[in-house]
Amino acid sequence: MAHPHVLFFKTITLFVALAFGPAAWALPTGGVVVEGSAGIANDTASSMTVTQSTAKAIINWQGFSIGSGEAVRFQQPDANSVTLNRVMGSDPSAIMGNLSANGKVFLVNPNGILFGQHAAVNVGGLTASTLGIANADFMSGNYQFSGANGGSVVNHGAINAGDGGYVALLGAKVSNHGTIVARLGTVALAAGNTVTLDVAGDKLLNVAVTQGAVDALAENGGLIRADGGHVLMTTQAAGSLLSNAVNNTGVIQAQTIGNVGGVIKLLGGMQNGVVRADGTLDASAPNGGNGGFIETSAAHVRIADSVRVTTIAPSGQTGTWLIDPQDFIIGSGGNISGSTLGGQLVTSSITIDTATGPGAALPGNGDIYVNDAITWTASGTPTTLTLNAVGDVHINAAISATNGNLVVCCGRDVNVNQAITTTNGSLLLSAGRDLNMNAAVTTTDGNIMMCAANDVNVDGAITLTRGTLDPTRSLGLPEGLTLSAGYGGAGPGLAGGTVNFGAAAPPAVVTVAPVTINYNPVSYTSPTDYSTRFTLTQGAALTQRMLVFGDGGDKAFDGTTGTTLSSLKGSPAGVQLVAGAGSFANFNTADVGTSKTITYGGYSLIGANANDYVLASNCCGPVFARTTGTISPTVAPPPVVPVPTPVVPDPTPVAPVPTPLVPVAVPVVVAPVVPGPALPDGRVVPGALTPDGLPVASFPSWPNIQPVPPAIVPPGPVPSWMGPQSVALLVTPPASPPSMMLVQEQPPAPLAPYIAPVFIPKHERN
């Protein structure tokens, strides 16, 4: 039974065909040039020429259709010229005849666009959209299309763009059931309510759906060919919760031309989108060069048993197919069958990835389950199956590869519950928590590396015969067998993770290959001896090294992640940490915290016992050493509190010898003021002290302050609290106190020489 979306498009196509009828298919009508310069001429009853004289032009049409046997030609200044044709009427556009242009043509009709079975389009570039674009945006090169009309763009004809050109079908639903060709260029089917084209010169660099549409659909049931270029089918709008789908049942081909590999991307929404891959996806390199790249990404990716995917390169390096879902099950009722996956691995390396890209922070557990047996023999250079999971990887069925490699990297546990076998290929198992090897692992003419941030638990048989340094089969791993536990940086000590052999596990058998174990011991003075866990033949040798962890990176919070390491935790004997040129050390975040992960590089070990130790490093992705440290809160210095100078009053006030007062200049009055107390006659003594020697408290000034004219005060006793040579001011208080004012005094006259008072008996005073 056909998929409902396919039936939908067939129904729409039939409806449009019937609605127009032969008589309705006619040349474009009612054209008005609203931007730029262009002429419109009806050459004959069945042909029209639009002659454009500016780089860009906008024409509003009442209707834009081309009947069977009719032709419309755009004559433009050069290949980079663009004409925007906007339909203002209510009818869809039906292109049943010929449309040609030496430059690029934009056709915008919110009512829908149909390219009929006999349509022939030959242009430098074509954009057919049911989404609108503003005049100013078009003229400025900001190609952002938007609308919520739900219109469809459907192609049943033949659309050809010139070499390096592009074809873009935009709308809420877009479908190709004909042929679209853009050699060395780009073909894009983008479904949503807002779509942006990134165009540079005559190249379409990128297409992004910035706002999704309800039940958005991008579909190919025909042929899309962009050899040496890109094919993009997308409904992927960041953060959109709307349901959407990308379906392929036809042929999509982007083979390598020269050294330019092809790229094919089917991208559904990472929140609630579905990609259904069937038909053919071909990014191979049959005529030389390396294979290209294929991606099928969405919240849910479903691969049909009849699909054919290839990136084979007989004369170069095989390309890669990336599958990027939230979760993935290999097996019956899952996302792909084991036999289908094995069949595609014959000609392509395949990465199933729930750990990177948009899906990493979205719903789902991020787990991968292998529930069906996977077997393959690569036909050319070795191919690699990579399982990257943000969660766990469960190998519940056997995996066997000849001329192939297997990589498993995950954020939590790797659980090997069924046998893994590689011949002429290598094996990497890396767990962000624990690696639990409960079944046999066998490699011939390849390498094995098993590592974990915490523990590597071995309960199955390990057999390795001959390692390899061949870059196509080695995975870049150290030659032979490597077991490494505790790279998470939580050591030293067993709690930081180590290598554990189960009591029932048989000895690992290694022939003609080196063996290395990196582990956390109970203590640096009590190393573990793993030699009894191995049967080593034909020159195989065991190296055992204890993990060490950089220290000295603790610091106070300063808003940065950078730090410097200077020593080793636990002070192991005979080894020191040395920073080399270009060394670095960074906390994972700049926030305050304890036991925070520090990644570092450019450091090395020296010392008499340096060969007995190794820095704890991860196995997947860029390799960095790891340790832990603390960022403590910044302690603010205590505030400095000024201590006022105390005023010590004269304990025994004695009347001074009368001194004539000298006339004082009139003071300058500015705001604010802190006057002294008022005298009984209304005068105010500024800066006065109380009888106990303390300053008189300040209070709001009064505005009507009149200076007393300079005068000589007659000699006579002066109260000690008035101070020497005081200035008297006459104040007239208002009804209410206004804002503060400042009384600035002139500097006082020099004081008369001090004469100590003469004590006079009490009864003789006065």
Which three-class secondary structure string do you get for 649-663? CCCCCCCCCCCCCCC
DSSP state letters, 703-725: S-EEEPPP-PPPSS---GGG-TT
End-to-end CA distance of the chain: 130
Confidence of residue 648 (pLDDT cuts 50, 70, 90): low
pLDDT digits (tens, 9 = 90+) for 252-269: 999 999 999 999 999 998
pLDDT one-digit tens code per residue, 513-566: 999 999 999 999 999 999 999 999 999 999 999 999 999 999 999 999 999 999
Note the pLDDT of residue 622: 85
The answer to whether the CB of 700 falls within 8 A of the CB of 737 is: yes
User: CA of 148: how far to CAs of 86, 108, 669, in Å?
Assistant: 16, 14, 73
Share of the chain above pLDDT 90, in %: 72
- pLDDT at position 201, please? 72
Which is higher by pLDDT, 566 or 7? 566
Q: How far apart are CA 238 and CA 256, in angstroms?
A: 30
pLDDT at 164 > cutoff 90: yes
Quote the CA–CA distance of 179 and 190 in Å, as a whole number.
17
652 contacts: CB under 8 Å, gap ≥ 6: none
Q: Which of 590, 619, 586, 585 is nearest to 602 (CA)?
A: 585
Stretch among 141-155, 160-174, 202-216, 752-766 having the lowest mean pLDDT: 752-766
Query: Mean pLDDT over residues 62-68, rounded?
Result: 97
Instruction: Find the helix or strand (DSSP H, E) in which 530 lies.
Output: none
Residue carrying structure tokens 């002659």:
51
How do residues 107-126 score in pLDDT, each as one tens digit?
999 999 999 999 999 999 99
Hey, is 762 helix, strand or coil?
helix
Q: With 0-12 CB in 10 A as exposed, 13-18 as middle and 19+ as buried, what is 589?
A: exposed
State the pLDDT at residue 652: 57
- For 146-198, the DSSP string reads E--S--EEEE-SEEEEEEEEEEEEEESEEEESSEEEETTSEEEEEESSEEEEE
**Quick check: 258 and 313 in contact, CB under 8 A?**
no
Residue 10 pLDDT: 42
Task: Provide the b/e sequence for 638-669 (b: ≥16 CB within 10 Å).
Answer: eeeeeeeeeeeeeeeeeeeeeeebeebeebeb
Residue 703 has pLDDT above 90, yes or no: no
In three-state secondary structure terms, 582 is strand
Report whether 437 contacts 408 (CB < 8 A).
no
Please give the DSSP secondary-structure letter assigned to residue 203. Answer: E
Query: What does the pLDDT look like over 349-374, one tens digit per residue?
Result: 999 999 655 445 556 789 999 999 99
Specify the pLDDT at position 646.
67
Residue with tokens 């934009």, as numbered in its chain: 106
For residue 645, name the pLDDT band (cuts at 50, 70, 90).
Answer: confident
Q: Are 224 and 180 in contact (CB under 8 A)?
A: yes
Residue 471 DSSP label = T
CA 758 to the chain's CA centroid = 90
Cα(88)–Cα(90) distance, rounded to whole angstroms? 7
pLDDT band at residue 11 using 50, 70 and 90 as cut-offs: very low
CB contact at 8 A, 130 and 170:
yes
What is the reported pLDDT for 402? Answer: 98
Cα–Cα distance, 451 to 562 (Å, whole number): 27
Q: Could you say which DSSP state residue 484 is in?
A: E
Rounded to the nearest 5°, which phi and psi values hold at 13?
Answer: -60, -45
Mean pLDDT of the chain: 85
Report the pLDDT averaged over residues 429-442: 97
Burial class (CB in 10 A: 0-12, 13-18, 19+), 318: buried
